[in-house]
Amino acid sequence: MTPDGEPGTVLRVPPLHPGTHDAVAASYPTLDLPAEGREEFLARHGAEVVAIVCSNFSPVGADLIEALPRLGMIANFGVGYDNIDLAAALSRGIAVSNTPGVLDPAVAEHAIALLLAVRRQVVAADRYVQEGRWPRGPFPLTGQVAGSHVGILGLGRIGQAVATRVEALGATVSYHNRRPVPGVPYAYLPSPVALAAAVDSLIVVVPGGAATDGLVDAEVLDALGPDGVLVNVARGSVVDEQALVAALDSGRLGGAGLDVFRDEPRVPAALLGRDDVVLQPHTASGTVTTRAAMGALTLDNLAAWMRGEPLLTPIPETTG
Ligand code: NAP
Ligand code: 8YV
């Protein structure tokens, strides 16, 4: 049932976390958006759909929203919602939820894992041992995080979880947001360039979308410098990838730990097979526990909307 008591179907937009995919069908009449023949499918079934369940890998554009005249709710599995045409949803008064908070520890520890992996050369040193090179001589000395200065670009929920973990490693934290965060014990720098110039390593945790596209550009990377390390667990769109490759190739940047890319799952060939870069397939929230919690929150938001109650975790823009 929908909030107005009329029967309605939930549309699953792939790819979805398997447990969440199954849980939707256990509670509601369900359809799956097919990979092929979408126009015909939507012409036949569009009027049945009252809600969407999607993930940040499932684009929900204006064309899909327009094809669903009764759509009242979009439940996004993920905290980032740059996959959704929010303007199109807002213009129709469609409620949109996401899954903030429950993934903070997992994403924060993944950022720390990347920082340590690049600074301590964990992956390159593993290859050194695996390939039998150790008997020919010692592995070169590496940098370290303890005693260093780490910048956080985006001191929000995840950024603050990163900050406490960085402090526990014995490093100093500074940050940049558009506005300073009241009450935090970290130095505020007024721009991404100023932050990059002040720190040894920069961890990026801002949202994706047009407002942050290319925020980490050549100027920021140059300010970070030849001993600097960039870690990106935000969105690939936030970093100018060509500028990143150029900075690494010319030795103007020390290294990078990247969980996200501009054209996932494709990764620029120039980032592959190098010892100064550690790459992950967008898995920062990808633990069994965290993905289950994200799925539960996605379903709880959908259930609240179905009951005509306020969403538990609406996307801020949709709450007016
Ligand atoms: P959040 O609590 O909203 O924090 C975002 C922070 O970024 C805020 O402090 C915000 O402060 C700052 N910010 C926003 N726009 C900015 C800009 N133009 N310049 C500088 N700072 C800016 O969000 P969150 O829950 O921490 O999540 C952050 C992002 O991480 C998500 O949107 C998602 O894209 C990404 N993420 C990735 C993964 C993964 O698997 N790799 C997992 C989860 C999340 P101001 O508003 O004051 O600027
Ligand atoms: C994804 C993420 O949701 O929350 C986000 O913004 O990027 C991730 O947690 C996850 O990769 C599955 O879609």
Instruction: Write the single-letter amino acid at 183.
Output: G
Quick one: pLDDT at residue 317? 75
How far apart are alpha carbons 121 and 127 in whole angstroms?
A: 10
pLDDT in tens, the chain (320 residues): 677 777 689 999 999 999 999 999 999 999 999 999 999 999 999 999 999 999 999 999 999 999 999 999 999 999 999 999 999 999 999 999 999 999 999 999 999 999 999 999 999 999 999 999 999 999 999 999 999 999 999 999 999 999 999 999 999 999 999 999 999 999 999 999 999 999 999 999 999 999 999 999 999 999 999 999 999 999 999 999 999 999 999 999 999 999 999 999 999 999 999 999 999 999 999 999 999 999 999 999 999 999 999 999 999 876 64
How far apart are alpha carbons 220 and 218 in whole angstroms?
A: 6
Best mutation site among 76, 97, 164, 205 for ligand 1 pocket (most ligand atoms within 8 Å of CB): 205
Tens digit of each residue's pLDDT (9 = 90 or more) over 155-183? 999 999 999 999 999 999 999 999 999 99
Q: Is 12 a catalytic residue?
A: no
206 lines ligand 1 (CB under 6 A): yes
56 lines ligand 2 (CB under 6 A): yes
Tens digit of each residue's pLDDT (9 = 90 or more) over 104-153? 999 999 999 999 999 999 999 999 999 999 999 999 999 999 999 999 99
Strands (E), 23-167: 30-32, 49-55, 73-77, 95-97, 149-153
Length of the chain: 320
Q: Which are the contacts of 187, defined by CB distance < 8 A and separation ≥ 6?
A: 173, 174, 175, 198
Q: Which residue has the tokens 């993934």?
A: 103
Phi–psi pair at 60, nearest 5 degrees = -120, 90
> What are the structural domains of the chain?
9-100+289-318 (3.40.50.720), 104-279 (3.40.50.720)
121 lines ligand 2 (CB under 6 A): no
**Closest ligand 2 atom to 56 CA:** 13
Look up the pTM and report it: 0.97
Strands (E), 33-112: 49-55, 73-77, 95-97
Beta bridge partners of residue 314, listed in sequence order: 97
| Residues 114 and 259: beta-carbon distance below 8 Å | yes
103 lines ligand 1 (CB under 6 A): yes
Best mutation site among 57, 177, 317 for ligand 1 pocket (most ligand atoms within 8 Å of CB): 177
How far apart are alpha carbons 42 and 33 in whole angstroms?
A: 8
Centroid of ligand 1 to alpha carbon of 233 (angstroms): 10
Strands (E), the chain: 9-12, 30-32, 49-55, 73-77, 95-97, 149-153, 172-176, 187-188, 201-204, 229-232, 255-258, 277-279
Ligand 1: residue whose CA is nearest its atom 37: 234
Q: What is the largest CA-CA distance in the chain?
A: 74
Helix H or strand E segment including 23: helix 18-27
Phi–psi pair at 239, nearest 5 degrees = -110, 135
80 lines ligand 2 (CB under 6 A): yes
